[in-house]
Amino acid sequence: MAPKNFRILVVDDERPTTILLSRILQEAGYSVKTALSGQEALGAVQRFSPNLVITDLRMPDISGLELLRRVKKDRPEVDFIILTAYATVENAVEAMKHGAIDYLIKPLKDPEELRVSVAKVVDRQRLVASELVQKEQLAEGLPSRQVLFAGMEDVWREVSLVASTDATVLIQGESGTGKSLVAKAIHHLSGRKGPFVQLNCAAIPENLIESELFGHERGAFTGAVKTKRGRFELANEGTIFLDEIGEMPLSAQAKLLRVLQDRTFERVGGTSTFSTNARVIAATNQDLRKLIAQRRFREDLYYRLNVFPITLPPLRQRSGAIEVLARYLVRNIAARVGKRVGELTPDVINRLEAYSWPGNVRELHNVLERAIILSDSGEIRLSSFDAVEGGVLEKVTGTDTLKLKELERQAIERALEKTGGHRRKAAELLGISLRTLQYKLKHYGLVGD
């Protein structure tokens, strides 16, 4: 199925051709605009911001190749398919040399020929976007998918399905579960060309939040010495992330509802209406239904935001995630504080896994950072956690340890029975890594060395 936000501009000086191609592509699920000249196409590129341009090669004002050259100069990410009735090897080579992805002969022998060619472009852009995501993750501080979604593979499936759509997403979960990181992952996977713009609704004073969201004109209020663009304007063609949406004052909620309904807004103190194509992702650690009952949150806004809800489980419910996250965090924290730290030992991992982590990933990060700072031998020991204030990682008594180990051994044996002795499947069933399972098998004497 074609991604809903994949935009195609069809350019041809013959109107019947643009009508035919547009119909084929729209029926396939693409968003399509048309232009009857190269000059008209240049303006349409600015307004429509297409992912792909399908253009006739010979046109009276600007040729398809000239259009390609001009667009690629400012927007190298836009792909081109050249369509022409003048099929020569020279034309094909020239088009490809300047960056065309494909070269089709008109009239088309079969509409499927066009659909296949466009589908290849879509697949190519998805691949490029995937590679960019990896680079941007490093730049934005995002961990890999395996780390970010460790122990919540169901959430990853939801994210991968919704990312390429324009649907508004509401991320719910306890504090410290990584809601902002998941929002960034959705943005990067979406392929949107605009930026990721974040606003913490709890951090902005009530009298300034409207200005932060929609901007203001010079002189709109005391201190407004110059015109300012708001977050929705800055996030056009990208994503706006409204964190702690439950803290947004009711006055701003009414204005936000309008943006979600018709995608338009005015700056504070202004009369001009602006439109935005920003994709909205909101997040909260509160129960919005309770806030609605308390008349602190608009019910109509809730339904506008709750188009695609995603709930992040607390760390204590993410089976097998603590080891993955801890090893990742230790590497990153050690590099940041300038310490060389060895791999976490199984005893330390077991200690971490025995704790409920009410502060979730944020608490795990803070505990590990302190342990790394306190370590002076290049190794994080169990004793490193004893100094944490309030006994954050409470010690387990000898009796409790024996009970826990016996339960763990039994769980491993049952998992191996269910999977017919297949270790990798047993590890997946238990929610732990294969490496951890192999260690535990040796530890409990269930296999030989």
Structure tokens at 99: 């960056």
CATH of the domain at 439: 1.10.10
Percent of residues, the chain, with pLDDT higher than 90: 35
Same domain, 109 and 184: no
Q: Which residue has the higher pLDDT, 223 or 20?
A: 20
Helices (H), 141-206: 145-148, 153-162, 179-190
Count of domains for the chain: 4
pLDDT one-digit tens code per residue, 22-34: 999 999 989 899 9
Tell which of 101, 128, 155 closes a domain.
128
The confidence band for 50, taking pLDDT boundaries of 50, 70 and 90, is confident
Please state which of the ranges 332-341, 355-364, 427-436 shows the lowest mean pLDDT. Answer: 427-436
Tell which of 292, 313, 334 closes a domain.
313
CATH of the domain at 329: 1.10.8.60
pTM over 0.85: no
pLDDT one-digit tens code per residue, 123-176: 887 766 555 444 444 445 578 888 899 989 889 989 988 998 889 999 999 999
Alpha-carbon distances of 53 from 40, 101, 280, rounded to whole Å: 13, 10, 27
pLDDT one-digit tens code per residue, 379-422: 787 776 764 444 445 544 444 444 556 667 777 888 888 888 88
Same domain, 201 and 265: yes
The confidence score (pLDDT) of residue 16 equals 92
The confidence score (pLDDT) of residue 46 equals 81
Tell which of 313, 329, 351 closes a domain.
313
In sequence order, the β-bridge partners of residue 31 are 7
Residue 1 maps to a domain: no
Same domain, 255 and 378: no
Same domain, 201 and 256: yes
Distance CA 267, CA 213 (A): 9
Same domain, 119 and 182: no
Same domain, 158 and 118: no
Residue 366 maps to a domain: yes
Residue 108: name the closest of 194, 191, 21, 25 by CA.
Answer: 21
Same domain, 111 and 44: yes
Q: Which residue has the higher pLDDT, 343 or 18?
A: 18
The confidence band for 319, taking pLDDT boundaries of 50, 70 and 90, is confident
Same domain, 79 and 116: yes
The confidence score (pLDDT) of residue 391 equals 45
The confidence score (pLDDT) of residue 129 equals 57
DSSP reduced 3-state for 166: coil
Same domain, 282 and 266: yes
Structure tokens at 288: 């919005």
State which residues form the domain around 33. Answer: 7-128
Same domain, 87 and 35: yes
Contact in structure between 375 and 410 (CB atoms under 8 Å) = no
Same domain, 302 and 402: no
Contact in structure between 82 and 38 (CB atoms under 8 Å) = no
The confidence score (pLDDT) of residue 131 equals 54
CATH of the domain at 200: 3.40.50.300
Distance CA 36, CA 15 (A): 7
Residue 279 maps to a domain: yes
Residue 135 maps to a domain: no
CATH of the domain at 67: 3.40.50.2300
Q: Is 448 exposed, middle or buried (0-12, 13-18, 19+ CB in 10 A)?
A: exposed
Residue 133 maps to a domain: no
In the chain, % helix, strand, coil (3-state, to 5) comes to: 50, 15, 35
Q: What is the mean pLDDT of the chain?
A: 84
